[in-house]
Structure 1
Amino acid sequence: MIFKTANLTLRPWKEEDAECLYHFAKNPNVGPIAGWPPHESVDDSLNIIKTVFAKKETYAVVKDNIPIGCAGLLFHPDTNHWWGEGAVELGYWIAEEHWGNGYAAEASKAIIDHAFNDLGISQIYASYRTENTQSKRVLEKLGFKYYSKMTNENYMHEFFTEIAMKLEK
C-alpha cells in the first residue's frame, strides 16, 4: 500500500533503500532516542529492511524520492509493550536533517487514519523517552493523551523512563 500526503509518500521499504537508510540511521542522534542502536554498515541497514521494516504496516517516509524516515504500526508481539487485545503501537522516526518540518506528524497522521478507517483499529498507543520532547510534541499534535509512565530497558541494558500515550477512535 502507498499513501500520499501533502509533502510525503509512504511506501514499503525496498532493498535498494539500504544505502540511504544507512546514511540517516548511522546518526547517533536518531536511533538511541527511539530505542535502537545506530546502524553500523549498509549491510546492517539492509538486514533491518529485510526483517524489521518488512513487517506489515511499516512504511518508508519518502520526500523527493528519498526515504527520510519510517512510520508504521506495530502489532503484538513486535510492540515494545503489551497494550491489550486489538491495540497497536505507533512508531516513527525522521532523519535529523529533516527535523522541524512536521514530517513525523504528517506521516503518522496518514498511518493513524489508515488504522482507524481501513484496519478497524480502535486504540493506538505510542511511547517516548522523557527527554525526547520532540516526540512528545508530535504525539500531542496528533491528539494522543497521557496513559502512563513506565521504566524500560534499552538495547544496551540501560534503564530509562518513558511516557505512554493513547489515541482512541
Structure 2
Amino acid sequence: MQIKTSHLILRPIQADDAAQVHGYAGDPDITMMMFLPNDTFEETKEFVERSVAEWKKDSPEYYEFVIEHDGKIIGGCNVGVHDGNKMSAEFPKCIFGDIGWILHKDFRGRGFATEAAAALKEFAFTKLHLPEIYAQCDSENKASFRVMQNIGMELIDDKGKRVSKSGRSGIEYTCRIKNFYPPELESERLVLRPLSISDMNAVYKWTGDPEVARFMLYSRYKSEADGLLWLSGLYSKDKWLDYGFVLKETGELVGSGGLYFHRAGDVTYTEDMWGIGYNFRRDQWGKGLASEAMKCILDYGRRTYGIKTVAGTFALDNIGSRRVMEKLGMTYWKDSEYTKFDGSETFKAKTYRKDFL
C-alpha cells in the first residue's frame, strides 16, 4: 500500500531502506530530543527488519512508513496500536493509537512533517478506525509540537518526564485528537466524502479562484500550499461536518462544504446553532449541486443529531448563495455582517434559517 499526498509518498518500510533510514535515524543532531539515535548501522538494520516483519502480521502493533519526496527517502513516520486494557492506569481503557515522525534535517521547514502527520492521522482514523490517537514530544521540540497543533491535536499533559537515549532529561508534552471523521454520503450526482490531505491540488482549483473566494470567509489562496494547514487540521472537532463533493460521473472533487455547530459569538451567531457553508469550482456553478449536497448533509445531520434549526449567512451581492438557501427552504431571519478571517473585507449580509418540524 501507499499513501500519496501532494508532495509525498508514505509507504511501508522495506529491508533495503536501511541505509537511507540510518541517514536520519543515526544523526544525533536530528534525534537529540528523541529516543533515537541508532548509534550503529546494525541497530538501524535490526529496527528495519523488525518493522518489515510487523507489517506481515495479521494485526500489526505498529505500522512503520518511510516518507519519500521526489523518489528519495527523507524521513519516517509510524502509527502504533495499543490496547489500553493491558496498560497502566494513565492510559485509556480502550484501543487507541499513537503517531510519530522524523525528517532528515535537509528537508525541514517545508511543511513536509505536517503533510505526513496529517496523512498518518487520516490512515489511523479511516483505515484502522482508531477512536483516538496520541503524540508526544520534548517540550523544547517546538517544531514537532507545532505539527501536532497543525493537525488539530490538543495538549492534554505538559508535565510529563522524558529522558532521551542520549541521556537528556526534559519535560514531555502529550497531545491527543479524537476521531471525528464523518461517514461518506451519497446524493443523485455526488459522493460526499471526508476531505484528505491528498486533495490539496483539487481544492486549489476553487480556493485559488478570486471569483469563488470573493464572498468566502477565507481570502483567495495564492498557492496550493495555502490549503495545507486547513486540510491538516480538519476533523478535530465534534459536530463539525466537513465534506468534499465528488462528481459521480467523473470522480472529480469539485467543491466542499458542510454542517457546523456554532457557539454564540462565532461569525454571525448570537446563540448556539447549526450553520451551513459551501463552495464549488466555478465551472460547476448554476447546476444545482450546492443545494443537492447540502440537502444530503442536512438529512444526515437531522437523523444523527436531531437538528431542529439551521442557519446560513450570505453577502448581499452573493445571489447564488441566497438561491441555494431558498432551495433548502430557508427564509430571512435577520440582517447581519461578517469579516474575512484575515480582516481584509467586511460584508453586509443577511442570515436565513429553517426550523424543522
Please say whether Structure 1 and Structure 2 have the same fold, judged by a TM-score greater than 0.5. Answer: yes
Rounded to whole Å, the distance in 1 between the matches of 2:220 and 2:345 is 16
Query: Is 2:236 the counterpart of 1:49?
Result: no
Task: Give the unaligned 5+ runs of structure 1.
Answer: none
Aligned equivalents of 2:235 and 2:221: distance in 1? 14
Contact 1:13 1:54 survives alignment (8 Å): no
User: Where does residue 150 of structure 1 map in the other structure?
Assistant: 336
- Larger mean Cα displacement after TM superposition, 55-64 or 24-33: 55-64
Q: Deviations over 1:57-108 (max 9, x none)?
A: 11001113221111211222494232423x2110111110100111000000
Give 1:52 deviation, angstroms: 4.9
1:162 aligns with 2:346: no
Q: Displacement of 1:47 after TM fit?
A: 1.9
The structure whose Rg is larger is 2
Q: Displacement of 1:33 after TM fit?
A: 1.3
Letter in 2 for 1:36: Y
The yes-or-no answer on 1:105 pairing with 2:287 is no
- Does residue 58 of the first structure (1) align with residue 242 of the second (2)? yes
Contact 1:53 1:59 in 2 (8 A): no
Aligned to 1:82: 269
Partners of 2:236 and 2:254 lie apart in 1 by 17
- Tell me, in whole angstroms, the C-alpha distance in 2 between the residues paired with 1:79 and 1:62: 29
Higher relative contact order (CA 8 A, sep 6+): 1
RMSD: 1.8
> How many residue pairs are counted as aligned between the two chains?
168
Deviation at 1:151, TM superposition (A): 2.6
Matched ranges for 1:27-42 at <5 A: 27-42=209-224
| Deviation digits for residues 23-70 of structure 1 (CA, Å, limit 9, x no counterpart) | 221000011212211112221112221125765311001113221111
1:115, distance to aligned residue in structure 2 (A): 1.5
**Cα gap change, 1:117/1:83 in structure 2, threshold over 3 Å: closer, same or farther?**
farther
1:134 equivalent to 2:316? Answer: no
State the distance in 2 between where 1:79 and 1:32 align.
Answer: 20
